[in-house]
Amino acid sequence: MEDSPSIQVWHAGSSSSEPGILERCCENWLSQDERVRADRFRIATSRNQHVVGRGMARRLLGREQIDPCLIAFAIEKNGKPYVSQPAEARRAFNIAHTDGLVMCGIDSQSDDLLGVDVEKLDRRTDPALAGRYFSKPEIDYLEKCVSETDRRNTFLKIWTLKEAFIKAIGTGLQTPLADFAFENIESTNPNIRMLNPKLESETQWSFLSIEPRPGYVGAVAIGANSVRKSTEVTLRRFEELL
């Protein structure tokens, strides 16, 4: 274990058509079940994202000390994967993907809550969805945006923050997105306010908005059991390891 808490956020460009070198390399690390699941995807980009995400996680959790193929995953009740064995590979991790990019966050700690999300800035989206899903403070913030581009980009920034949080707590969309609000949204380190008392806990939350690569926006949610001065977050290109 490292001396101080740290998180590495690795990102890799995935193919939207035929599998490339990255996809073929990652597929070699998958379990038989993961390969079967990958073959069920009918759209090439979805298959590639699945293969790269699982392959990245295996390679990074192994840290060149454990054969990625020996790492076994289990699923929490709401679908969040975790390392079941071997024990030395157990660390908090989370995977996210969007068109052309896969992101994997790896924590130096095993007992943190970790969630990551990423979106492509030019994806088709309707900021009006904020009125249906976001909290009132976030809706009010969006209404102050001076242009459609600013509104769309801000909507995606908030969306990734919200997705990272619900992925970290492992509930997915079972937790209504209006039950919590992000404040200081213009900052790279926004704050969260729980609007539903049921979400209150002793967990110490910190968030980071990132640009993993040009044209993409991402978010990292870190839930710690104790108060920390900070948790170092570094961005790395996964292709460096190939």
Query: pLDDT tens digits, residue range 218-231?
Result: 999 999 988 887 88
pLDDT at 123 over 90: no
CATH superfamily name and code, 113-224: 4'-phosphopantetheinyl transferase domain (3.90.470.20)
pLDDT band at 57 (very low <50, low <70, confident <90, very high): very high
pLDDT band at 43 (very low <50, low <70, confident <90, very high): very high
pLDDT band at 125 (very low <50, low <70, confident <90, very high): confident
* Helical residues (DSSP H) of 96-229, grouped into ranges: 130-133, 136-143, 148-169
> What average pLDDT does the segment 119-131 reach?
90
Q: Where are the domains of the chain?
A: 1-110+228-242, 113-224
The CATH number of domain 1-110+228-242 is 3.90.470.20:
yes
> What average pLDDT does the segment 78-104 reach?
95
Per CATH, 1-110+228-242 and 113-224 having the same topology is answered yes
Single pTM value for the model: 0.95
pLDDT at 54 over 80: yes
Name the CA radius of gyration of the chain, rounded. Answer: 18
pLDDT at 3 over 80: no
Distance CA 53, CA 49 (A): 6
How many CA atoms, within 13 angstroms, populate the side-chain half-sphere of residue 182? 33
DSSP 82: E
pLDDT at 1 over 50: no
* Distance set, CA 173 to CA 60, 79, 90, 179 (Å): 27, 11, 25, 11
pLDDT at 138 over 50: yes
Q: Is the preceding peptide bond at 5 cis, omega within 30 degrees of 0?
A: no
pLDDT at 2 over 80: no
> What average pLDDT does the segment 23-43 reach?
96
